[in-house]
Amino acid sequence: VEVNKASLSGITPLLMVAEVGWPDILDILLQRGAVVDSAPSGKRAEDNKIAGSTPLIGATKYNHPECVKRLLAHHANPNHQNQSGISALMLAAEQGFFDCVKLLVQAGADLELAPSGQLALTMNLCGQTPLFCAAKEGRTEIVKYLLDRGANPRVQNHYGVSALWIPAQKGMLQVVELLLNAGAETHVAPFGNLADELNITGWTPLYAAMKSRKFDVVKLLLKRGADPNAVTKLGSTPFLLASEICDLDIIEACVEAGADLDFAPSGPDADNLNITGQTALFMATLKDRVDVVKFLIQKGAHVNVQNRYGVSPLLLCAESGNYELVQALVQAGADVNITPKGELAEENFLAGQVKKFFND
């Protein structure tokens, strides 16, 4: 019997047995000369997305640690990558197959191996090391195991998403803490065309966690030195986002971490989004949040800011009829004589609105 005879798709008996998980039959095939690292190739294999998948990758994919162990004992290559650039360790780490991870690492699997090349780029896999794969799926035990063995906690994919970014966005507190303890950087943010398409350019892990309202992660990142003033491509910051969400506890944490109370978006992107000049105080006023407005005033926020139309926080709450907010702003020194002016104000019928309100 020809033990290495493959099907039309390139599947050998050894690959099939490894995927099914029959270690004793696998041993027999290996003893009779089956090639341990044989893998499907050619167009049909590529079409079926199995090109380059060795028996070791197959056994790992279906979580058969005993088959993995026996293949490694016969010197299967733990660093072989399939057509997408995925290795057995990447698969095991992502899927949470801890026994397979340990066997592969003990056999010398490269902790920093990551997909590369055009196909990996197309599939957004470039740069995803085993640690990255484990972290993004919240595989806490595996993340710790890989970090303890020297995996790089600062790894990034090809458009700047770090191993810390996805766990932060998903609120995986334990994984985030492990990565921070190992030296993961809090300031790294996505960049480039793909990040632009995904609308995440400039989003630090803190911003990503804030956007997802994972406030336990937000607090941890702030305590570990994450910057509440890091500006995204569109001009927002984690602190401005916190002010938009209007969670007082998180706003307080940002201020304690050094948030710039009077920062406001500017530039063409901010103009297009109509957020130019909108400080945290402005945002809180828009939300009619008296408690947040009073807190920001107490911390020294400027009350006479104006957006691109010349609208001030005082005009906002005057128009909405929120007397308590009006009172808080006036007591803090809000100028009742500030009025919208200029072409934009005229176009939007805002000129002179504050005076009119108080005259009425």
Q: Please name the residue ranges forming H helices in 107-158.
A: 118-122, 130-136, 140-148
C-alpha to C-alpha distance for 261 and 287, rounded to whole angstroms: 17
**Cα 49 → chain centroid:** 27
Tell me how many degrees the CA angle 196-201-205 measures, rounded to the nearest 5: 145
CA 244 to each of CA 95, 156, 181, 236, 332: distance values in angstroms, whole numbers, following the listed order: 36, 29, 30, 10, 21
DSSP state of 220: H
Q: Which two tokens stand for residue 61?
A: 């994919």
**190 alpha-carbon distance from chain centroid:** 9
Q: What is the rounded CA–CA span in Å between residue 56 and residue 104?
A: 10
CA distance linking residue 80 with residue 85, whole number of Å: 9
Question: Helix count (H) and strand count (E) of the chain?
Answer: 24, 0
Distance CA 223, CA 256 (A): 9
What ranges do the domains of the chain cover? 225-360
Residue 15 makes CB contacts below 8 A (sequence gap 6+) with 38, 39, 40, 53, 54, 55, 58
CATH topology of domain 225-360: 1.25.40
pTM over 0.85: yes
30 close to 67: Cβ distance less than 8 angstroms: no
Chain position carrying tokens 């733990």: 78
Report how far apart, in Å, the C-alpha atoms of 83 and of each of 86, 183, 219, 316 are: 7, 32, 41, 58
**Rounded to 5°, angle at Cα 326 from 322 and 328:** 120
Residue 123's pLDDT is: 87
Distances from the Cα of 318 to the Cαs of 147, 328, 346, 350, 358, in angstroms?
55, 12, 19, 13, 9
Residue ranges of the chain whose pLDDT lies below 50:
344, 348-351, 355
Query: For residues 145 and 40, what is the distance between their CA atoms, to the nearest angstrom?
Result: 32
Residue with tokens 């026994």: 99
Please state, as a whole number, how many other Cβ atoms lie within 10 Å of the Cβ of residue 108: 10
Angle between helices 248-256 and 238-245 (to 10 degrees): 160
State the pLDDT at residue 81.
95
**Cα atoms found within 13 Å of the Cα of residue 256, Cβ hemisphere only:** 13
Whole-angstrom Cα distance, residue 58 to residue 39?
A: 10
What's the burial of 332, exposed, middle or buried (CB within 10 Å: 0-12/13-18/19+)? buried
pLDDT at 180: 99
Tokens read off for 157: 């994919």
Burial of 99 (0-12, 13-18, 19+ CB in 10 A): middle
Q: Please give the Cα distance from 315 to 61 (Å, whole number).
A: 61
59-98 b/e (C-beta count within 10 Å ≥ 16 → b):
bbbebbbebbbbbbebebbbebbbbbbbbbbbbbbbbbbb
